[in-house]
Amino acid sequence: MGSNTPNIVYLVLLLMVVGASVIASLRRRPGQTLQQIMIWALIFLGLVAVAGMWTDIKGALLPRQAVLGDGRIEAPLAMDGHYYLTATVNGVDLRFLVDTGASGVTLTQRDAARVGIDTANLAYTGMASTANGTVAMAPVRLDTLDLGPIHASNVRAAVNGGELDTSLLGMSYLTGFAKVEFDGTRMVLTR
């Protein structure tokens, strides 16, 4: 409690000042003060509701990849200027950054563990040059990698030994498509 004492004292004093101000305002203009208290309460409840539903709101506002009727896959340009695809690896949905500068499919250590790869016993025998320097890579095989209706099995991949934030979908996977198009706002993969 010793390290929190100044914070508690500050909050108690702040509460006393705000409380005294509200009481004084209630004596002078009770109707207007109650109206303002109700408005602030509604604003607070609205913010709590938005925070609680943020995942749903974000999903509705930000477009996602779509499988078009002719088997094409379309992904919108994300706000950070990259394209992302969600693929199912070994039955687990993973978010991939589409990286034409990456030679292969690369998993973060976290994503590798999620899909059932024992990351503690990997042999980091390969090396990769990245924008952040050289990192160790562990070759692995993915049982399945499904992107929409496109199914691949026994897929060669690597687990990044560095601090990679997002798994990468590189050229070894993208070259399996007949056409990869970018038009500035979307990416379209055609089989």
Token pair, residue 118, equals 């024992």
Phi, psi of 97 (to 5 degrees): -85, 125
Average pLDDT, the chain: 88
Residues 6+ apart with CB under 8 A from 137: 106, 124, 125, 126, 127, 128, 158, 159, 160, 161
The lowest-confidence range among 57-71, 138-152, 177-191 is 57-71
Per-residue model confidence as pLDDT tens digits over 168-189: 999 999 999 999 999 888 999 9
Instruction: Indicate the CATH number for domain 64-190.
Output: 2.40.70.10
Domain-wise residue ranges, the chain:
2-59, 64-190
pTM metric for this prediction: 0.67
